[in-house]
Structure 1
C-alpha cells in the first residue's frame, strides 16, 4: 500500500492541478490538451513535473488507454476539492454587481432622453431598458420582469402606482391617394364612408397598416404608433372630437426604492441638485392651474390720448399746415 500523502499537493499551483484533472477525467492526453487549448507536449511536461514534485506516479506508465495509478486516483479527488474551494473563495470575495434598474416601455414610447439623463446622474447603476408588448404591460410589472414601465392607460390601479405623463393624439392612417389625405384634420364624420380596419391591437399595428396599404380603408391608432410603423405609401391625419390615449409611468405598489424614486424624479423633470423625496404617485392627471388674471390694458379714449401727446410736446403745433 502506498504511503503517498495527498496533502503534498496543497503547495502545487492550481494551474498545474487543473491540467492534471483534465487528463485524469479524459484519460486521453490529446483530448485533454485540446480542451485546455495547449500543446500536447506542454501537457505531458506538466504531468512529468508534477510526478517528480510529488515523488509518485499518477498515471500508469505505458498504459493504453491512459490509466490512473492508485496515488493518481487519490490525487484526483483532492485536487478537485482544492479547485472547488478556491473557486468558492473567489466568488465570495468578488464584489457584488452594482444595483441596476429595469425600465420597460410599450410600443410607440421613446425613453432615450431619460436614459441619457440617468447615465449622467447614476453612472454606477446600469439602466436596463426593456421593450414590452402592449398586451403584456401589466404582467411585466406584476411578474417582476421590469421595475417600472411606461404604459398606456388604463391599467389596474389596485396594485399599481401610476403617474400620467402625456396624451396621445389618435390619427387615421390611409393610403396617400385617399381623399382624406387632402385634409389636415379629419373628424369622425369624415371616416363614415371609409372601410375601418381594427387598430386596437397595437402589437399587430404593422400588420394592420400593411392591410391598409394593400386594400385601402383606414385604421385609427395613436400618432406614436403611426410614426413607429411609418410607410411611404401611407399618410396619417389627426382626428378631432375623439378620445385620446394616455401614457403613464407605472410600478407595483410597495416596491419603492431609492433608484426607483430617482428615475421617477428624472421623468418628472427634477433637477440633479434638487432634494430627493419620495415620489408621490398621481391617480389622475393634475388639473392645469388657472391662468393669472390679465392687467387692464384698455386704451384711453382718443381725446385723452391726443391731449397726452400735446402734453409731451409731441403733438402737432397749432396752425401748422399738413403739407408743404
Structure 2
C-alpha cells in the first residue's frame, strides 16, 4: 500500500496542478497539450517534475493508452478541490464589474451617434451593441439577450414598451437599365406590369436583390435596407402612395433601470444637464409648440401742444 500523502499537493502551484488535471482527464498527452496550448514536451516535463516532487508515479509507467495510478487518482481529486477553492476565492474577492447595457439593432439601423454620446456621458458603464436579425427582434428581448433593441414595428405591445422614432422611406429596387430607373419617384401604377419579387423577409434581402439583378422585376423594401446591401447593377427609387415602415426603441414591459432610462433619454434627445423628469423634446411628426407672443413695450404718447389763441402773437422773450 502506498504511503503517498495527498496533502503534499497543497504546496504545489495551481498552474502545474491544472496541467496534471488536463492530462488526467484526457488520458492523452497530445490532446491535453493542445487544449492547454502548450508544447507536448513542456507538458511531459511538468508531469515528471510533479512526480519527483511528490515522490510517486501519478501515471502507470508504459501504459498505453495513458492510465492514472492509484496515487494519481487521489491526486486528481485533491487537485480539483484545490482549483475549485481557489476559483471560488477569486470570485468572492473580485470587485463587481461596472453595470453595463446591451442594445440590439435590426438591419438598416445605425446606432453610432447614440453610442458616441453614451461613451461621452457614461464612460464608466460599458455599452454593448448587438446586431439582431429582423426575425429575432422580439425573441432577443423576451429571452433577455439584450436590454433594449431598435426594432421595426409592429411588435407585441403587450410584452414590450416602445417609443416610435422615425419612418423609413419605401423604395423600389430595379435593374440599372430598367425603364423605371429613369423616374425620380415610382408610383404603384408604374409597377403594375412589373414582377414584384418577395422582399418581406428583410434578413434575406441580399438574396432578394441578387434575384432582381439576375432576372429583373422590382423589390420594395425600406431605403435603409437597400442602402445597406447596395449593388452597382441596381438602383432604388422612392415609391409614392405606399405604407412607411417605422423604427422604434423597445424594451421588455415592466423592466426599469437607471441605465435604461439614460439610454432612452439620449435617443430622445435629452441633454446631459436636463432632468430625467423634464419635458421631452418633440418627436418627428409632432407639431411644434407655439411660443407665447412677446408683449410689446407700451409706447408713450407725446403730450398734446397747447393751442395758441388766434389773433394774438406769442410774447417775445427778452434778450
TM-score under structure 1 length normalisation: 0.72
- 1:1-324 → structure 2 map (5 Å cutoff): 6-7=6-7, 9-15=9-15, 37=39, 38=42, 40-41=44-45, 43-51=47-55, 58-59=56-57, 64-65=62-63, 77-277=77-277, 287-289=286-288
Cross-structure match for 1:319: none
The residue matched to 1:99 in structure 2 has which SS? coil
The residue matched to 1:117 in structure 2 has which SS? helix
In the superposition, relative to structure 1, how do residues 274 and 8 fare at CA in structure 2: closer, same or farther (>3 Å)? same
Moved more, 244-253 or 125-134: 125-134
Moved more, 155-164 or 129-138: 129-138
C-alpha distance in 2 between matches for 1:186 and 1:48: 83
Q: Is the 8 A contact 1:264 1:279 kept in 2?
A: no
C-alpha distance in 1 between matches for 2:96 and 2:77: 31
C-alpha distance in 2 between matches for 1:83 and 1:292: 69
C-alpha distance in 1 between matches for 2:58 and 2:214: 76
Across the aligned residues of Structure 1 and Structure 2, the Cα RMSD in angstroms comes to 3.8
In the superposition, relative to structure 1, how do residues 279 and 111 fare at CA in structure 2: closer, same or farther (>3 Å)? farther
Q: Is the 8 A contact 1:30 1:40 kept in 2?
A: no
How many pairs are equivalent?
A: 287
Residue by residue over 1:21-67, the C-alpha shift from the partner in whole angstroms, topping out at 9 and shown as x without a partner, is: 6777788999988967526456434433443xxxxxx2399965499
Q: CA deviation at 1:163?
A: 0.8
Any gaps of 5 or more consecutive residues in structure 1? 52-57, 296-324
Moved more, 31-40 or 134-143: 31-40
C-alpha distance in 2 between matches for 1:172 and 1:29: 61
Q: CA deviation at 1:249?
A: 0.5
Any gaps of 5 or more consecutive residues in structure 2? 295-319
